[in-house]
């Protein structure tokens, strides 16, 4: 080899090493004896090796041991690492190795024709972390860090595989009570902070083996592992209810919320994810209906009930159009004059299949679906129109639902019914219940005042069944208090009921409000209502609610009843 050839080779060698050192990957070429032929700077840097430690001729085993000495290898057994790395291989392969220092290296090995091989090494830690973050975000809720619906489904599926082998699990579906009003009252940042705190409490209450998830807004769920009996789930539900109901201190506000829980058990008979979720939701729905802050186990009847509800919902939509609603009228008696002073309009639904459906079976559904608005408008118009045609100018009372105040404009509905019918506003009464006054999110007082300003009277219905705060009676000038049937039904013997009836009648008298005892069925109950100073009564004693075309008979019946009662009183007074 002459001098010229020599310098060309040297140059080539230099170019090669410059090129190799400027690669982004680490590179090392081994011969068939597993000795280094050539390597680059990146290779040494990746494993923290000196140039001397990888100089040509060094065995792979030596390099492995040098890496171990630097604490940079993979797995937790150094000898196994050496054995694995130096094992002979024939095919090229790629693999990802996680090093003891936390980095992830992508290694490519390719055999060379002479029996040696080439390896490239690339640090892909950042890429892995970014990918892990993206996949974490796809499976978790951004606000609370809990698994989201997708991940929860994955966990359920994993769990169900174990359930099919005999394990039992519980699915607890959670829904916060009153969360919406927190958001409305304090704003979304406080709402968000509250959800984070809720998530923390749920996480602290569940075990490592359980999965807690946030499914949407204020909906959470827990997959409880290793359940022996249903009471394990009940115990967890109860713990969650008490922990989540403790006060929260957020941005200087003391906030109280509650939670309702529905429970479904996964066992060998019940191991379909969709079915399980649905069952837990049905149980949750039932828990919410039972009064919030409770838990319910799924029962098959709930499914039947729900199907029935769906059906009613559909039928209810069509009922208005088909003219299936009808008003029944129940007389209200003035005790001073001993004669009817008005009627309460009570809604009936003539279902083509089920016959007459009582309001309690469909009003709650109408309220939830928003159908209560058009229904109430219909009731108002019909009742006012009917009243205009009565032979005596008696008053007519219409029940207004709380949902109407929340989602509609009751004053507007009342005004329109009065205008269209031409009924004297003084003959119209609207009845509202106490639950309406609990809602602080809408200006109830202003809405009621607007109705009152038209000359319409306002009654507090079913008084005594809700919170019965006396402040309700002073905060808003009601014209009438209707004493709930439950305080009348065990009269005259019921001492507690008697005391309540007496005090409400006294209160009404002092506040200048009419008092009506509801549900009077017997002579004795009528006598108590009179002696305790109620101004009016309503009940089966005089008449049940009857259709409009029976009004004349109803009035006649009331008059007869009054005459009969008075005759009887006269007789008993004579006897005394
Ligand atoms: P409510 O407003 O308390 O109506 C009185 C209920 O007591 C009526 O039941 C009536 O039939 C019943 N009742 C009257 N006297 C007696 C009695 O002596 N003994 C017994 N056991 N019951 C008596 P109804 O008609 O089934 O209505 C139930 C509830 O449905 C009503 O309670 C009211 O809250 C609601 N409702 C009825 N019609 C309407 C309506 O048009 N709109 C709204 N929002 N709710 C309505
Ligand atoms: Ca009523
Ligand atoms: Ca009532």
3-state secondary structure 238-272: HHHHHHHCCCEEECCEEECCEEEEEEEEEECCECC
pLDDT band, residue 475 (cuts 50/70/90): confident
The answer to whether residues 37 and 30 touch, using CB atoms and an 8 Å cutoff, is: yes
Question: pLDDT digit string (tens) for 111-134?
Answer: 988 889 999 999 999 999 998 888
Question: What percent of the chain lies above the pLDDT cut of 90?
Answer: 69
pLDDT band at 21 (very low <50, low <70, confident <90, very high): confident
Q: What pLDDT, on the 0 to 100 scale, is given for residue 456?
A: 98
Contact 76, 68 (CB under 8 A): no
Per residue in 251-306, pLDDT (tens digit) is 999 999 999 999 999 988 888 899 899 999 999 998 998 877 899 999 877 778 77
For residue range 439-455, what is the model confidence (pLDDT) as tens digits?
A: 777 788 899 999 999 99
Query: What is the structure's pLDDT at 14?
Result: 78
d(CA 144, CA 161): 28
Pocket of ligand 1, beta carbon within 6 A: 330, 346-347, 358-360, 363, 376, 379, 399, 401, 461-462, 485, 519-521, 538-540, 545
Residues that place a CB less than 5 A from ion ligand 3: 461-462, 518
Please check the confidence at residue 364 and state whether its pLDDT lies above 60.
yes
Which residue's CA lies nearest to atom 20 of ligand 1? 519
d(CA 52, CA 271): 62
Domain extents for the chain? 23-124, 140-298, 311-568
Instruction: Output the pLDDT for position 573.
Output: 64
- Span 101-108, average pLDDT: 93
Alpha-carbon radius of gyration of the chain: 40
| CATH number, span 311-568 | 3.20.20.450
Atom in ligand 1 nearest the alpha carbon of residue 404: 44
pLDDT, residue 330, reads: 98
Q: How much distance in Å is there from the Cα of 318 to the middle of ligand 1?
A: 23
Q: Tell how far the Cα of 511 is from the centroid of ligand 3, in angstroms.
A: 20
Q: Which DSSP letter does residue 114 get?
A: T
Mean pLDDT of 194-209: 96
- What number is the average pLDDT over the span 375-404? 96
CA of 358 to the centre of ligand 1 (A): 9
Cis peptide before 548 (omega within 30 of 0): no
**What is the predicted pLDDT for the residue at 349?**
96
Using pLDDT thresholds of 50, 70 and 90, give the confidence band for residue 17: confident
Helix, strand and coil percent figures for the chain, each rounded to 5 = 50, 25, 25
Amino acid 488: pLDDT: 94
Q: What is the number of the ligand closest to the CA of 462? A: 3
Neighbours of 99 (CB within 10 A): 18
CA distances from 307 to 54, 282, 299, 363 (A): 75, 11, 14, 17
Q: Which atom of ligand 1 is nearest the CA belonging to 521?
A: 18
**How does DSSP assign 208-231, residue by residue?**
TTSEEEEEETTEEEEEE-S--SHH
User: For a pocket test of ligand 1, which of 359, 417, 539 has the largest count of ligand atoms closer than 8 A to its C-beta?
Assistant: 359
Please determine, for residue 228, whether its predicted confidence score (pLDDT) is greater than 70.
yes
Ligand 1 atom nearest the C-alpha of 328 is 25
- What is the predicted pLDDT for the residue at 464? 82
| Spatial contact of 168 and 227, defined as CB atoms under 8 Å apart | yes
- According to the model, what pLDDT value does residue 6 have? 65
Q: Per-residue pLDDT averaged across 198-210, rounded?
A: 96
For a ligand 1 pocket test, name from 346, 407, 432, 522 the mutation site with the most ligand atoms within 8 angstroms of its C-beta. Answer: 346
> Closest Cα to atom 33, ligand 1: which residue?
399
HEC profile of 39-79: ECHHHHHHHCCCCHHHCCCCEHHHHHHHHHHCCCCECCCHH
Overall average pLDDT of the 547-563 stretch: 94
What pLDDT is attached to residue 35?
96
Please give the pLDDT value at position 3: 63
Query: Quick one: how far is CA 68 from the chain centroid?
Result: 55
Distances in Å between the Cα of 41 and the Cα atoms of 57, 111, 123, 134 are 17, 22, 14, 32
Q: Which ligand is located closest to the Cα atom of residue 541?
A: 1
Phi-psi region of 468 (alpha: psi -120 to 50; beta: other; left: phi over 0): left
Residue 189 has pLDDT above 90, yes or no: yes
Query: What is the spatial distance between Cα 563 and Cα 338, in angstroms, rounded to a whole number?
Result: 9
Residue 90 or residue 536, greater confidence: 536
Q: Taking residues 170-179, report their average pLDDT.
A: 94
Q: What is the largest CA-CA distance in the chain?
A: 152
Q: Ligand 1, closest atom to CA 540?
A: 18
Structure tokens belonging to residue 461:
């219905």
Q: CB under 8 Å to 248, separation ≥6 — which residues?
A: 194, 197, 254, 255, 256, 257
- CA angle 258/264/267 to nearest 5° reads 150
* Over residues 496-518, mean pLDDT: 93
Comparing 531 with 474, the larger pLDDT belongs to 531
pLDDT at 8 over 90: no
Ligand nearest to the CA of 326: 1
What is the predicted pLDDT for the residue at 159?
Answer: 94
The angle subtended at Cα 529 by Cα 562 and Cα 488, nearest 5°, is 110
Q: What's the DSSP call for residue 390?
A: -
Summarize the confidence of residues 237-250 as an average pLDDT. 95
509-520 average pLDDT score: 95
Exposed/middle/buried for 89, CB within 10 Å: 0-12, 13-18, 19+?
Answer: exposed
Per-residue pLDDT at 409 exceeds 80? yes
Model pTM score: 0.63
**Average model confidence (pLDDT) for the chain?**
91
Q: Kindly give, in sequence order, each residue whose CB lies less than 8 Å from that of residue 488, ignoring residues fewer than 6 positions away.
A: 497, 501, 517, 518, 519, 520, 525, 529, 539
What whole-number distance in Å separates Cα of residue 376 and Cα of residue 414? 10
Instruction: Write down the pLDDT at residue 482.
Output: 96
Looking from the CA of residue 545, the nearest atom of ligand 1 is 11
CA-based nearest residue to 194, from 148, 247, 140, 141: 247
| pLDDT for the residue numbered 156 | 95
CATH second-level architecture of 23-124?
2-Layer Sandwich (3.30)
**Which of 44-53, 415-424, 566-575 is modeled with the greatest confidence?**
415-424
| Best residue for ligand 1 mutational test, from 399, 480, 523, 543 (most atoms within 8 Å of Cβ) | 399
**Residue bearing the CA closest to ligand 1, atom 4:** 346
Q: What CATH superfamily is the domain 140-298?
A: Reverse transcriptase/Diguanylate cyclase domain (3.30.70.270)
What is the 346 CA–ligand 1 centroid distance (Å)?
A: 6
Q: What totals of helices (H) and strands (E) does the chain contain, helices first?
A: 21, 22
Predicted confidence at residue 192, as pLDDT, reads 95
Does the structure show a pLDDT above 80 at 12?
A: no
**Nearest C-alpha neighbor of 339 from the set 526, 542, 504:** 542
Interhelix angle 551-575/523-531, nearest 10 degrees: 70
Residue nearest to atom 14 of ligand 1 (CA): 539
Task: Report the nearest atom of ligand 1 relative to the CA of 520.
Answer: 18
Question: In this structure, are residues 89 and 61 in contact, taking their beta carbons and an 8 Å threshold?
Answer: no
Average pLDDT over every residue of 178-182: 87
> What is the average pLDDT across 367-377?
93
Ligand 3 mean position to 257 CA, how many Å? 29
pLDDT of residue 575 exceeding 70? no
Mean pLDDT value across residues 218-232: 94
């Amino acid at each position: 080899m002459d001098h010229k050839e020599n310098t060309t080779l040297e140059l080539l060698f230099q170019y090669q090493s410059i090129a190799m050192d400027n690669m982004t990957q680490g590179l090392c070429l081994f011969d068939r004896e597993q000795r280094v032929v050539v390597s680059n700077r990146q290779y040494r840097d990746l494993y923290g090796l000196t140039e001397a430690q990888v100089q040509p001729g060094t065995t792979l085993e030596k390099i492995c041991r040098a890496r171990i000495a630097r604490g940079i290898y993979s797995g937790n057994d150094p000898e196994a690492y050496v054995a694995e790395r130096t094992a002979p291989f024939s095919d090229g392969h790629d693999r990802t190795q996680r090093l003891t220092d936390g980095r992830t290296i992508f290694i490519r090995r390719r055999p060379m024709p002479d029996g040696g091989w080439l390896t490239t090494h690339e640090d892909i830690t950042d890429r892995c972390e970014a990918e892990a973050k993206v996949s974490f975000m796809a499976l978790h809720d951004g606000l609370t860090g809990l698994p989201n619906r997708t991940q929860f489904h994955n966990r359920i599926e994993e769990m169900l595989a174990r359930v099919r082998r005999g394990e039992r699990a519980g699915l607890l579906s959670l829904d916060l009570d009153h969360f919406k009003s927190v958001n409305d009252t304090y704003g979304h940042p406080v709402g968000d902070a509250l959800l984070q705190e809720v998530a923390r409490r749920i996480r602290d209450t569940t075990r490592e083996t359980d999965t807690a998830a946030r499914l949407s807004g204020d909906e959470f769920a827990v997959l409880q592992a290793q359940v022996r009996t249903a009471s394990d789930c009940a115990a967890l539900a109860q713990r969650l209810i008490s922990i989540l109901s403790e006060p929260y201190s957020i941005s200087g506000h003391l906030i109280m919320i509650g939670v309702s829980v529905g429970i479904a058990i996964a066992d060998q008979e019940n191991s379909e994810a969709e079915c399980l979720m649905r069952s837990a939701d049905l149980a949750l729905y039932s828990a919410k209906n039972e009064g919030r802050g409770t838990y319910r186990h799924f029962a098959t009847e709930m499914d039947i009930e729900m199907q029935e509800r769906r059906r009613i919902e559909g039928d209810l939509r069509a009922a208005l159009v088909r003219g299936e609603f009808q008003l029944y009228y129940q007389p209200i008696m003035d005790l001073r004059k001993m004669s009817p002073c008005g009627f309460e309009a009570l809604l009936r639904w003539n279902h083509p299949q089920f016959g007459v459906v009582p309001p309690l079976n469909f009003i709650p559904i109408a309220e939830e679906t928003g159908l209560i608005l058009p229904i109430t408008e219909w009731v108002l118009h019909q009742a006012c129109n009917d009243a205009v045609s009565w032979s005596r100018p008696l008053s007519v009372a219409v029940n207004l639902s709380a949902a109407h105040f929340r989602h509609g404009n009751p004053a507007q509905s009342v005004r329109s019914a009065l205008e269209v019918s031409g009924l004297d506003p003084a003959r119209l009464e609207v009845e509202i219940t106490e639950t309406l006054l609990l809602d602080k999110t809408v200006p109830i007082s202003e809405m009621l005042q607007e109705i009152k300003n038209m000359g319409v009277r306002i009654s507090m219905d079913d008084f005594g069944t809700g919170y019965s705060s006396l402040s309700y009676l002073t905060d808003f000038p009601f014209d009438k208090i209707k004493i709930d049937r439950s305080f009348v039904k065990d009269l005259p013997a019921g001492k507690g009921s008697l005391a309540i009836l007496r005090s409400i009648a006294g209160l009404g008298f002092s506040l200048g409000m009419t008092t009506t005892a509801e549900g009077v069925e017997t002579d004795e109950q009528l006598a108590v209502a009179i002696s305790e100073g109620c101004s009016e009564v309503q009940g089966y004693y005089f008449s049940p609610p009857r259709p409009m075309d029976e009004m004349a008979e109803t009035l006649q019946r009331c008059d007869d009843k009054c005459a009969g009662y008075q005759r009887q009183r006269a007789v008993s007074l004579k006897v005394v």
